[in-house]
Amino acid sequence: MKFSGFKVVKEALTGHKGWTPLWRNPEPKPAYDIVIVGGGGHGLAAAYYLAKTFGKLNIAVLEKGWIGSGNAGRNTTIIRSNYLLPGNQPFYEFSMKLWENLEQDTNFNSMVSQRGIINLIHSDGQRDAYRRRGNAMMISDAGARLLSREQLKDMVPFLNFDNARFPIKGGLMQTRAGTARHDGVVWGYARGADMHGVDIIQNCEVTGFKIEDGRVLGLETSRGFIGAKKVGVSVAGSSSRVMAKAGMRLPIESHVLQAFVSEGLKPTIPGVITFGAGHFYVSQSDKGGLVFGGDIDGYNSYAQRGNLPVVEDVVEGGMALMPMIGRARLLRGWGGLLDMSMDGSPIIDKTHIDGLYLNAGWCYGGFKATPASGYAFAHLLATDTPHETATAFRMDRFNRGYVIDEKGVGAQPNLH
Amino acid sequence: MLIPHPLLGLRDSQEFTYLGDAALMNRPDPATPDAEAVFCDYVFLRDNPAGVHRELWFHEQGDRSWLVVTRDTTTHEILGAELASDVKGAAK
């Protein structure tokens, strides 16, 4: 079933009787060529590109709950490619280009909206750092604009420009950045993968790996044994738990990040605004809610909920940046699990076990990476070589001394 | 979260900074032949369990002692706290 304006009109005139489910709900087959563990955005994107771009057949995605019920449904939906380091930035720019064509590619409205992101500047030193970052972005074709205080006053007049501690002196903007609809992304990839023959198997938790002579043969699951020639694990947040079943320890700690949304308001925030110095960022959803967040709680957690001190810290940042936010009522707050890696950057790599591949370590930045992560993981699974933009995301980079540490804080995951 | 400090009683976790897995106290011997590989594991790899976790918290805004806190990472329930110096002493 292909979506189009014509189809919408036709269904409107015929009682909406022609819509069909977006994907099948198949029983697992005894074996597949490739099994992706994790039915989030990354896993479904990997399956989609494996089937569509790399022409692979006989693929399954296993999801312990329902698809998109983990971090794909808990993020703040920001898409951007404004990184600094050469190991990262070309990859995120590749992701941005996939975002720009995502809806045409999947024939699904993922509500990609390039409304721009502004990182605020409060000091000369920070302006120098952002100028450098902007240059890195331009080298990778991502585009960047350095904004003056006056330009910002025109664009976002509601900010407090004269905060005593962090007066706003400018900003770095990526106009191509923006937001997307998180579950629209999941559903678009799921539908696309299903249309290309991928079995999406929900309520199917992996309980163990069958590994013999250093080679993976399949997975023990809550719905029985499923054989597999290749297994790709894409379960960020729970990577350590799943890979421990294969006897591996990872350079990852699981942490909790909270996010919040206010009641629906009239359009007030034009894009995404980040106040890094105050541990706060905000955007406005298409439904009108102010979507905002701040730092991670900072201790190991699998609880999918955080604690009140961080709530206080985030709203203090919000009040310092845009005092009018104090008039909005908080609608919801929630927490998601993060694979906080030892350098703040992800892993897309083979493991020492033949046929077992890992996609992990996305920290708090996995959503924007969804298309490129899926594509690069599909590339690795299909060809056994890394995608050209993902060659730095190797697991052995820690031992070799090639960490990709954007913040430069070392092997201390709660500081990334 | 309230941390039961062995000397000071219940203290708000906001007074502490978090380091990570208490296994970080067990620094490997740098003189062994395989020290490089062992140190890589020590610095970069973590068990990262879902459940009971023994971890280091520093009472930065208090008596500046290091504690080993036992906490459930799936519920945030704190099951106990000891002075890291006592834990280290008992291990010797």
Cβ-based contacts of B41 with chain A (< 8 Å): 249
Tokens 């808990």, residue?
A74
| ipTM, interface predicted TM-score of the complex | 0.96
Residue A197 confidence (pLDDT): 97
Backbone angles phi, psi at B52, to 5 degrees: -70, 130
Close Cβ partners of A408 (under 8 Å, ≥ 6 residues apart): none
Average confidence (pLDDT) per 10 residues, chain A, 416 residues: 92 95 97 98 98 97 97 96 97 98 97 98 97 97 97 97 97 98 97 98 98 98 98 97 98 98 96 96 97 97 96 96 96 96 98 98 97 98 98 96 95 95
* Sign of the alpha-carbon torsion through A68, A72, A77, A81: negative
C-alpha angle B6-B12-B17 in degrees, rounded to nearest 5: 85
Sign, CA dihedral A78-A164-A144-A142, equals: negative
Give exposure, B26-62, as e/b (b: 16+ Cβ within 10 Å): eeeeeeeeeeeeebbeeebbbebbbeebbbbbbbeeb
Angle, vertex CA A326, rays to CA A333 and CA A415, nearest 5: 50
Tell me which chain B residues have a C-beta less than 8 angstroms from the C-beta of A244: 47
Q: How far apart are CA A184 and CA A41, in angstroms?
A: 10
Name the pairing type of β-strands B9-12 and B2-5. antiparallel
User: Chain A 285-314, CB below 8 Å of chain B: which residues?
Assistant: 298-303, 307, 309
pLDDT confidence of B91, banded at 50, 70, 90? confident
What is the reported pTM? 0.96
> Under an 8 Å CB criterion, which residues of B touch A?
1, 13-14, 18-21, 37, 40-41, 43-50, 53, 55, 71, 73-76
Measured distance CA(A341)–CA(A324) in Å, rounded? 36
pLDDT at position A345: 98
Nearest Cα residue to A283 out of A259, A313, A310, A255: A259
Q: What residue segments make up the domains of chain A, in order of their start?
A: 20-81+84-107+182-251+343-415, 117-179+253-341
Sign of CA dihedral B36, B40, B42, B43: positive
**Residues of B with CB below 8 A from A309's CB?**
13-14
- Please tell me which residue of chain B has the smallest CA distance to A298: B18
Q: What is the pLDDT of residues B38-68, one digit of tens each?
A: 999 999 999 999 999 999 999 999 999 999 9
Q: Between the CA of residue A29 and those of A34, A133, A219, A224, what are the distances in Å?
A: 12, 48, 12, 10
Q: What are phi and psi of A272, to 5 degrees?
A: -105, 135
Does B92 have pLDDT greater than 80? no
Q: A221 has which bridge partners? A: A206, A224
What H or E segment, with its residue span, contains residue A233? Answer: strand A224-233
Q: Tell me the β-bridge partners of A248.
A: none
pLDDT at B90 over 90: no
Least Cα separation, residue A106 to chain B (angstroms): 36
**pLDDT value for A1:** 77
Q: CB–CB of A250/A397 below 8 Å?
A: no
Residue of B nearest to A400 (CA): B40
- Would the CB atoms of B20 and A414 count as touching at under 8 Å? yes
Cα(A151)–Cα(A121) distance, rounded to whole angstroms? 13
Which superfamily is assigned to A117-179+253-341 in CATH?
A: D-Amino Acid Oxidase, subunit A, domain 2 (3.30.9.10)
Q: How many CB atoms lie within 10 A of CB A400?
A: 9
CB distance A156 to A115 below 8 Å: no
Q: A-chain residues within 8 Å CB-CB of B13?
A: 299, 307, 309
Q: Would strands A330-341 and A347-350 be described as parallel, antiparallel, or unpaired?
A: unpaired
What is the pLDDT, as a whole number, of residue A283? Answer: 98
Residues in CB range of B33: below 8 A, 6 or more apart? none
Q: How many CB pairs under 8 A join A and B?
A: 68
| A324-343 b/e (C-beta count within 10 Å ≥ 16 → b) | ebeebeeeebbbbbbbbbbb
Q: What is the structure's pLDDT at B89?
A: 86
Which residues of chain A have a CB within 8 Å of the CB of B47?
240, 244, 249
Give the dihedral of Cα atoms A245, A258, A403, A400; nearest 10 deg.
Answer: -20
A251 touches chain B (CB under 8 A): yes
* Cβ A290 vs Cβ A261: under 8 Å: yes
Question: Is residue A218 within 8 Å of residue A322, measured between CB atoms?
Answer: no
Residue A147's pLDDT is: 98
Min Cα separation A413/chain B (Å): 9
Is the distance from CB of A94 to CB of A389 less than 8 angstroms?
yes
Domains and CATH numbers, chain B: 2-91 (3.30.2270.10)
Contacts A344 to B, Cβ<8 Å: none
Which of A244, A252, A301 lies nearest to residue B73, judging by beta carbons?
Answer: A301
Residue B27 pLDDT greater than 90, yes or no: yes
Task: List chain A residues with CB under 8 Å of B40.
Answer: 398-399
| Superfamily (CATH H level) for A20-81+84-107+182-251+343-415 | FAD/NAD(P)-binding domain (3.50.50.60)
Q: Cβ contact (<8 Å) for A398 and B20?
A: no
